[in-house]
Amino acid sequence: MFFEHIYDNSLAQGSYLIGCQVTGEAMVIDAKRDVDTYLEIAKRNNLHITHIAETHIHADYLCGSRELAAVTGAPMYLSDEGGKDWQYEFPHVGIKDGDVIKVGNLSLKVMHTPGHTPESISLLLTDHPASDEPVMVFTGDFVFVGDIGRPDLLEKAAGIMGTKETGAQQMFHSLKKFAALPDHVQVWPAHGAGSACGKALGAVPCSTVGYEKIRNWALQYGEDIAGFTDYLLTGQPEPPKYFAMMKHLNKVKRPLLIEVPKPAKLTKEQFLSAYTKGIKLIDTRDKADFAEGFIPGSLNIQNNDSFSTWMGWILNYEEQFMLVANDSRIEELTRKLMRIGLDNLYGYISDVDSTGLELQTEEVIDLDEFKAYAGNNRVQIVDVRGATEYNAGRVEGAEHVFVGTLQNNLDKISKNKQVVIHCQGGDRSALAYSILRRNGFDNVKNYSGGMKEWTEANNPVVSEEAVSCS
């Protein structure tokens, strides 16, 4: 048997290519959209992609199954579980609980494992030349290493109300099916640490059923479904705004992108014309470089592992945009964009100084200056971290406005006070600073050291528990 785990750090997303080396047949599970990766792996290992599968209708990335099918001609094996509202709306081979897909001498048994979504399936792999016992299970967003999928995303991200409690109950019963698998079966999920699809995903790529039965919190509740549901639905991170669009585009017919685009490098004249017309500019440089000089109105979304997520939070799918990016990084950025369907890239520039525009600078303050502002009623301190982080421990007097929703909550930011923003370690506050400056807030300072530096220096914090007990 051939097996390769393909991992996208930018979305903490895992996909898989498995194959029978005797027959040369191969299957890709939960493909990302830049499908050249799978074609290269298959070619290098004398395999042909003959099967394509998904574990569910994904919300966090644009699945590349249809791109891969268009290139290879391989059929797509997709869930027909979950009822009429959870059916893929394009041609595919429908599969249900108990069905078996054969890939050469391999077989994959379909397990309907609803909870994260109603149509969710897991694929139980048996390598028949080696054993008639199953050896792997591909769980999608059902069971992660140390965690399980979120049933609240359909409400919070896709706006499908009244589904989270039902999803939690379905998840509880699906876990019974999972726990009945042999302990030796390897567990290969669709996400790892850093994904917003859970709240405590492990950093290692795989596990076993036996290990998860011992260590995964979700498998420790016995028959206590009420306690399980309460814990599962509490403290989940904010789902990125773009999740609703992904859920939609992964279900319906959409334009395909079978090659990685090559964005245009804009001339000075092309850039200034687009900039004057109001096309949004995203500066992907490091926050320190941005602080030293940035084009007015640009937004600092750094090219790191969170780039795709913040682009999905800040941009909509109708507007064009431009990038400030190094030539050597533009292909990487383009791949990150196409993986969440942000295809309206007008072009990019690599040098902010060459535009002829007068650059602005960012006022970044240190710990001592931040301390001087704390507790001053003429200063508004704004914590732009997530709600769970803020409630767990914050600077006394700090107000909370999550950076992902800051654009819709500008009325909460004072134009009459000195505003000081911070996050955990400076990345999110750099983005928040650029959002505020773009929207006319000029009296803003960024405490880039954030809560990490604040707590490491043993400064006091307050929490929701401390407040409620006082």
Q: What order of strands is seen across the sheet that includes strand 364-365?
A: 364-365, 444-447, 418-422, 379-383, 399-400
Whole-Å CA distances, 250 to 10, 38, 82, 84, 412 = 19, 19, 16, 16, 35
pLDDT averaged over the chain? 95
**Residue 197's pLDDT is what?**
79
Q: Is the pLDDT of residue 468 over 70?
A: no
Q: Pick the closest to residue 106 from 90, 89, 88, 130 (CA basis).
A: 130
Q: Pick the closest to residue 205 from 58, 8, 56, 42 (CA basis).
A: 8
For 123, the token pair is: 């694929």
Cβ of 457: how many Cβ atoms within 10 Å? 10
**Residue 333's pLDDT is what?**
98
Q: What is the largest CA-CA distance in the chain?
A: 73
Instruction: Please check whether residue 202 is in contact with residue 146, taking contact to mean a CB–CB distance below 8 angstroms.
Output: yes
Three-state DSSP class for 87?
coil
* 247 contacts: CB under 8 Å, gap ≥ 6: 57, 58, 59, 154, 157, 158
pLDDT band at 157 (very low <50, low <70, confident <90, very high): low
Whole-Å CA distances, 81 to 28, 60, 85, 364, 452 = 20, 20, 10, 52, 45
Instruction: Give the phi and the psi of residue 187 in degrees, each rounded to 5.
Output: -110, 120
Q: Pick the closest to residue 68 from 96, 107, 41, 106 (CA basis).
A: 41
Instruction: Please check whether residue 129 is in contact with residue 143, taking contact to mean a CB–CB distance below 8 angstroms.
Output: no
**pLDDT (average), residues 340-360:** 97
State the virtual CA torsion across 128, 18, 12, 255 in degrees, nearest 10.
-130
Q: Nearest-5° angle of CA 268, CA 270, CA 274?
A: 115
Please state the domain extents for the chain. 2-249, 268-355, 364-469
Instruction: Please check whether residue 105 is in contact with residue 129, taking contact to mean a CB–CB distance below 8 angstroms.
Output: yes
Distance CA 433, CA 441 (A): 9
**pLDDT (average), residues 72-96:** 96
Instruction: Please check whether residue 214 is in contact with residue 182, taking contact to mean a CB–CB distance below 8 angstroms.
Output: no
Model confidence pLDDT, tens digit, residues 185-226:
999 999 998 887 777 788 899 999 999 999 999 999 999 999
307-314 helix and 427-438 helix, angle to the nearest 10 degrees: 30
**Which CATH number applies to 268-355: 3.40.50.12660, 3.10.20.600, 3.40.50.970, 3.40.250.10?**
3.40.250.10
**Residue 465's pLDDT is what?**
58
Instruction: Give the phi and the psi of residue 427 in degrees, each rounded to 5.
Output: -70, -50
**Which CATH number applies to 364-469: 1.10.10.10, 3.40.50.2300, 3.40.1160.10, 3.40.250.10?**
3.40.250.10
Three-state DSSP class for 102?
strand
**Residue 466's pLDDT is what?**
45
Instruction: Give the phi and the psi of residue 244 in degrees, each rounded to 5.
Output: -65, -40
Three-state DSSP class for 49?
strand
Q: What is the CA radius of gyration of the chain?
A: 24
**pLDDT (average), residues 422-443:** 98
**Residue 257's pLDDT is what?**
95
For 320, the token pair is: 């064009």
**pLDDT (average), residues 137-148:** 97
For 141, the token pair is: 């967003």
Instruction: Please check whether residue 149 is in contact with residue 60, taking contact to mean a CB–CB distance below 8 angstroms.
Output: no
> Helices in 45-93 by DSSP H: which ranges?
65-72
Q: Is the pLDDT of residue 470 over 50?
A: no
Instruction: Please check whether residue 173 is in contact with residue 219, taking contact to mean a CB–CB distance below 8 angstroms.
Output: no
Q: Is the pLDDT of residue 334 over 70?
A: yes
For 215, the token pair is: 């260590």
Fold adopted by 2-249: Metallo-beta-lactamase; Chain A (3.60.15)
Instruction: Give the phi and the psi of residue 409 in degrees, each rounded to 5.
Output: -130, 35
pLDDT band at 469 (very low <50, low <70, confident <90, very high): very low
Model confidence pLDDT, tens digit, residues 220-276:
999 999 999 999 999 888 889 999 999 999 999 999 999 999 999 999 999 999 999
Instruction: Please check whether residue 341 is in contact with residue 334, taking contact to mean a CB–CB distance below 8 angstroms.
Output: no
The yes-or-no answer to whether 268-355 and 364-469 have a common fold is: yes
Q: Pick the closest to residue 198 from 171, 235, 244, 227 (CA basis).
A: 235
* 348 contacts: CB under 8 Å, gap ≥ 6: 263, 264, 265, 266, 322, 323, 324, 325, 330
